[in-house]
Amino acid sequence: MPSIRCTTCGLLVQVPEGGRRMCGCGTWLSSDDPPLLDPVDVPVAGHGPSGWPRIDGDLAAIERLTEGSKRIRRELSKAIVGQEKVLEELLIAMFARGHCLLVGVPGLAKTLMIRTLADSLSLSFSRIQFTPDLMPSDITGTEVLQEDKATGQRAFKFLHGPLFANVILADEINRTPPKTQAALLEAMQERQVTVGGTRHRLPDPFFVLATQNPIEQEGTYPLPEAQQDRFMFNILVDYPEEEEEFRIVEMTTSTHVPQIDRMLSATDILEMQEIVRKVPVAPYVIRYAMKFTRLTRRGPQGPRGPSPTLGVMRGKESAEIPDFIRDYVTWGAGPRASQFLILAAKARAVLHGRYYVSCEDVRAVAAPVLRHRIITNFNAEAEGIKPDDIVRRLADLIPRDPNERALEEKSAKV
Q: Is 262 in the same domain as 290?
A: no
Q: Residue 113's pLDDT is what?
A: 82
Both 139 and 235 in one domain: the answer is yes
One digit per residue, the tens of pLDDT, for the chain of length 414 reads: 556 666 665 556 666 666 666 655 556 666 665 554 333 333 333 333 333 343 455 677 777 777 777 888 888 888 888 888 888 898 899 889 999 998 888 878 788 888 888 888 878 888 899 988 888 888 888 888 887 777 878 877 888 888 888 888 988 888 888 888 888 888 888 888 888 778 888 888 898 998 888 877 776 788 888 788 889 999 988 888 888 888 888 888 888 777 777 877 788 888 888 888 888 888 888 989 998 898 988 755 444 444 444 444 554 555 678 888 888 888 888 889 999 999 999 999 988 888 888 888 999 999 999 999 998 889 888 888 899 999 999 988 887 664 544 544 544 454
Nearest alpha-carbon partner for 363 in 317, 398, 314 = 398
For residue 143, is it within any domain?
A: yes
Q: How do strand 192-195 and strand 12-14 relate by DSSP bridges?
A: unpaired
Clarify whether residues 309 and 211 are in a common domain: no
- State whether the Cα torsion 54-57-63-67 is positive or negative: negative
43/153 same-domain check: no
In a domain, 182, yes or no: yes
CATH number (domain holding residue 131): 3.40.50.300
148-to-88, 141, 144, 153, 160 alpha-carbon distances in Å: 51, 21, 13, 5, 19
**Which range of residues forms the domain containing residue 21?**
1-54
The answer to whether residues 9 and 137 belong to one domain is: no
Query: Does one domain contain both 218 and 310?
Result: no
- Say yes or no: 317 and 400 in one domain: yes
Q: Mark whether 77 and 206 lie in a shared domain.
A: yes
Indicate whether 258 and 328 sit together in one domain: no
Instruction: Indicate the residue among 269, 299, 316 that finishes a domain.
Output: 269
Does residue 73 fall inside a structural domain?
yes
Indicate the residue among 222, 242, 269 that finishes a domain: 269
Residue whose C-alpha is closest to residue 205's, from 97, 315, 334, 46 = 97
Domain presence at residue 351: yes
Q: Do both 229 and 114 map to the same domain? A: yes
| pTM for this model (two decimals) | 0.76
**Of 11, 29, 54, at which residue does a domain stop?**
54
- As for how many domains the chain has, the answer is 3
In the chain, what is the straight-line distance between the N-terminal and C-terminal CA atoms, in Å?
17
Compute the Cα dihedral for 62, 68, 70, 73 and give only its sign. negative
Question: Tell me, what CATH number does 317's domain have?
Answer: 1.10.8.80
Cα-Cα-Cα-Cα dihedral sign, residues 112, 117, 122, 126? negative
Beta bridge partners of 144: 157
Q: Is residue 220 part of a domain?
A: yes
| Same domain flag for 148 and 255 | yes
Are 107 and 256 found together in one domain?
yes
Query: Has residue 274 been placed in a domain?
Result: no
